[in-house]
Copies of this chain bind each other. A is one copy, B any other.
Amino acid sequence: MDSEAPAKRPRNAANTRAAILAAAKALLAERGFAGWGVNAIARAAGYDKQLIYRYFGGMDGLAEAIAEDVSAWMQTALVRPDHSAPPASYAEMMARVAVALLDALRSDPLAQKILAWELSAPSKLATAFSEARGKALSGWIARERGTLQRPAGIDAPMLNALLIAAIQQLVLSGAASGRFLGLDLRDDAGWDRVRSGVAGLTRAMYR
């Protein structure tokens, strides 16, 4: 019976730091940034909040650590699946990138919460993440583009920004309320419609 023993954990600063970081990320992904603070995180991690100050220097440092973490993950996540045929045109390439971004965002509640945070309040985590995301995205597009000709006479960066903005907004709205204007974003059928809409829109842009 070890039910009475206070569960002697081995003391290890690295492990503890990682556990706090994981708990902070999980809490942010689950419940968003409302009520995201030292008390809740320490409680969820099972450690005293004092350790958040000791290992991260407070919430700001913790937020930075999360931003680094997520950014690093994103750099590796945004890649074309091996051996898939390279895109035949700029329009085709952007259509693929857009749909891939949509699916990646939709399956990542943590990124959603950070994006929503970005829109609600300027913060260290938000801006750091925003810049990292921008770099990862443009690097991804540049890699995918390869030697493809960018269409002439068109403000392609602007159109791409509009496309990505639309995707972000739809993912955030879908996660928050399950719909956007008339669209039903609660099940895969709705998202299939969005995917084909995004693909069609991209081709129309660069036709």
Contacts and interface: CB of A to CB of B under 8 A. Distances in A.
Interface of A: 32-34, 116-122, 126-127, 130, 134, 137-138, 154-155, 157-170, 172-173, 176-177, 180-183, 193-194, 196-198, 200-201, 204-205, 207
Contact of A204 (B160, B161, B204): B204
A180 B138 CA distance: 12
Given A169-B165, A182-B161, A127 B193 contact: no
Given A162-B197, A170-B162, A177 B126 contact: yes
B120 A182 contact: no
How many of these chains are in the complex?
2
Contacts of A159: 197, 200-201
Contacts of A161: 170, 180-183, 197
A198 B137 CA distance: 21
Contacts of A177: 118, 122, 126-127, 130
Nearest to A162: B166
B176 A119 contact: yes
Contacts of A169: 165-166, 168-169
A193 B34 CA distance: 35
Contacts of A205: 201, 204
User: What are the 7 tightest A-B residue pairs by CB atom distance, in nearest-first order?
Assistant: A165-B169, A166-B166, A158-B197, A169-B169, A165-B166, A162-B166, A119-B172
